[in-house]
Amino acid sequence: MGRKSRERAAALATRKRQAAEGITIREARPGEGETVRQLLLPVDPEHPDVFDPLSDMIDSGLVMPPDRGLCLNLVAENRDGKLVGALSAVSPFDWITGSDQLAQPFKPALARNIATIESLAVAPQARGMRLGFQLLKHAEAQLRESGCRLLIVDFEPSRSHLARYYTEAGFRLLAYGQPLHIGLLPGVILPRPSHKDHRTSWKALTEEITLEPALMTQGPDMPPVPVPGGVLVGVLAANHMATSSAT
Ligand SMILES: CC(C)(COP(=O)(O)OP(=O)(O)OC[C@H]1O[C@@H](n2cnc3c(N)ncnc32)[C@H](O)[C@@H]1OP(=O)(O)O)[C@@H](O)C(=O)NCCC(=O)NCCS
């Protein structure tokens, strides 16, 4: 790189750093639903309606009932008051309630311990400042404060750059289509299925979560095999484990 190019790159980096310094990350407010929806469109351009419910929820100011788990909608606002980034995270409540491996009373507890990043986007003109990382960092801190222990993100192969992005943000990646296995009690493993083309990544928000080798049975007359990718232990907090019972 020549001297002029280096100077241009340094000037650009300075402008971006200054721009990033003027950013406020906060929860989305009623009236901002449509702006958030517009920001999130690039996450799923083929399904422009997919964020309508989220937009309505933000505008209504509705809060998730505690027994349905966690819900967080963050926005990044620049110094001119313009929204330039959004992140939404929610507990995987439907998967947890549909599982028959955990007794009913403990499903809300597990739901509150896990959140999935449903969408993350930065406006094209604001990219390059790692605003997405700032949104992720805030989300992690806020979710952790609410008792969340595990954060999950799924993405499609067409977004292969996200593998590097989320790895840099501290997530661990599973192979394409590989389910995430969550150890509830000794010998009780709850698999979270993944779409065959999707890739799941996860990040522990507490040091109490460990990834451990485990065996699982595939059928009544078949020998146990190692769980691919291992099992996450400690997702259900110890105080819940002590009183929970698998069905
Ligand atoms: C993913 C996204 C949120 C990242 O925004 P950001 O935090 O501002 O990220 P930056 O633009 O600062 O880029 C961070 C790094 O990711 C890389 N990156 C970002 N988008 C990329 C792309 N489409 N292809 C390849 N690399 C990409 C950048 O090159 C950069 O790496 P570098 O620092 O080594 O150069 C933003 O690109 C976006 O909104 N994309 C569309 C929606 C989307 O795909 N969301 C993720 C689905 S959950």
Question: What is the pLDDT at residue 19?
Answer: 66
pLDDT tens per residue, range 171-212: 999 988 899 999 988 778 899 988 778 899 999 999 999 999
Least confident interval from 38-42, 60-64, 168-172, 183-187: 183-187
Indicate whether 245 pLDDT > 60.
no
Indicate whether 56 pLDDT > 60.
yes
- Going by alpha carbons, the residue nearest to atom 13 of ligand 1 is 128
Question: What is the pLDDT at residue 247?
Answer: 37
Mean pLDDT highest for which of 28-37, 151-160, 207-216? 28-37
- Take residue 151 and report the two structure tokens written for it: 């954060």
- Sequence ranges of the domains in the chain: 23-243
* This model's pTM is above 0.95: no
- Going by alpha carbons, the residue nearest to atom 15 of ligand 1 is 165
Task: Determine the distance separating the centroid of ligand 1 and the alpha carbon of 128, expressed in angstroms.
Answer: 7
Question: What is the pLDDT at residue 240?
Answer: 57
pLDDT tens per residue, range 122-146: 999 999 889 999 999 999 999 999 9
User: Which of the listed residues 50, 127, 171, 201 should we mutate to test ligand 1's pocket, taking the one with most ligand atoms within 8 A of CB?
Assistant: 127
Question: What is the pLDDT at residue 243?
Answer: 44
Task: Determine the distance separating the centroid of ligand 1 and the alpha carbon of 39, expressed in angstroms.
Answer: 14
- Give the percent of the chain with pLDDT over 70: 94
DSSP the chain: --HHHHHHHHHHHHHHHHHHHT-EEEE--TT-HHHHHHHHGGGSTT-TTTTHHHHHHHHHT----GGG--EEEEEEE-TTS-EEEEEEEE--HHHHHH-SSS-GGGHHHHHHHEEEEEEEEE-GGGTTS-HHHHHHHHHHHHHHHTT--EEEEEE-GGGTHHHHHHHHTTPEEPPTTPPEEEEEETTEEEEE---TT-EEEEEESSTT-EEE--EE-SSTTS--EEPTT-EEESSS-HHHHHH----
- Going by alpha carbons, the residue nearest to atom 4 of ligand 1 is 132
- Take residue 201 and report the two structure tokens written for it: 């990544």
Question: What is the pLDDT at residue 239?
Answer: 54
pLDDT tens per residue, range 215-235: 888 778 888 888 988 999 999
Around ligand 1, the residues with Cβ closer than 6 Å are 42-43, 119-122, 127-133, 155, 159, 161-162, 165
Fold annotation for 23-243:
Aminopeptidase (3.40.630)
Per the listing, tokens 């311990």 go with 113
Indicate whether 24 pLDDT > 50.
yes
DSSP 44-69: STT-TTTTHHHHHHHHHT----GGG-
Task: Determine the distance separating the centroid of ligand 1 and the alpha carbon of 229, expressed in angstroms.
Answer: 26
Atom of ligand 1 nearest to the CA of 129: 12
Average pLDDT, rounded, for the chain: 89
Please tell me which residue, 15 or 140, carries the higher pLDDT value: 140
